[in-house]
């Protein structure tokens, strides 16, 4: 395992700032049952750049401070992003790299929204299904469409070559 360099720290800081800013600039799309959090496209970056994972977590935490779900989203949303970033680093190819954010957010954020709205009542499963589906579909678009573009373009940028995980070239 290599050291976390100044270049890595800079990348993590830029990812954190970009994630938080993009989420806060588009609040109508970023929170709720059916969300298309455009910044979630960055959640594929740990596949290519493991050093971006801490930046994603910090950016998500900052963005979730403005969430209508308050501290619940700060905790659950940040945990979902941290888990997704870790799993994305472990994916064997770029086609599977967007899958962890879709699944983690669909399940964790779907459950969080359902619990916030109705608690653990008889309505929880129905609200969880609706919220989880809405969040997962938004993640699917952000991660597979926008994130897929990042996974295709970034390996061709010479500046990033030495920062990429070896599998990122596949």
Tell me the torsion sign for CA atoms 29, 33, 56, 102: negative
**Binned average pLDDT, 10 residues per bin, the chain of 170 residues:** 82 96 82 81 95 96 90 95 96 95 96 94 96 94 96 90 67
Say what the pLDDT of residue 1 is: 55
Question: CA 10 to CA 12: how far, in whole Å?
Answer: 5
Q: Please write the tens of the pLDDT for every residue from 101-133.
A: 999 999 999 999 999 999 999 999 999 999 999
What is the value of pTM for the model shown?
0.88
């Amino acid at each position: 395992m290599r050291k976390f360099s100044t270049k890595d720290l800079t990348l993590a800081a830029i990812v954190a700032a970009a994630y938080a800013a993009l989420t806060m600039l588009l609040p109508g799309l970023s929170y709720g049952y059916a969300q298309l959090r455009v910044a979630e496209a960055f959640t594929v970056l740990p596949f290519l750049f493991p050093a971006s994972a801490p930046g994603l977590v910090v950016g998500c935490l900052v963005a979730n401070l403005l969430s209508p779900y308050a501290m619940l989203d700060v905790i659950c949303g940040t945990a979902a992003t941290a888990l997704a970033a870790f799993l994305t680093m472990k994916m064997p190819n770029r086609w599977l790299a967007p899958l962890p954010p879709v699944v983690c957010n669909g399940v964790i954020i779907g459950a969080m929204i359902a619990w916030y709205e109705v608690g653990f009542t008889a309505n929880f499963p129905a609200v969880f299904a609706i919220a989880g589906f809405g969040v997962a579909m938004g993640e699917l678009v952000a991660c597979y469409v926008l994130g897929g573009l990042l996974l295709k373009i970034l390996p061709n940028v010479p500046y990033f070559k030495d920062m990429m995980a070896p599998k990122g070239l596949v």
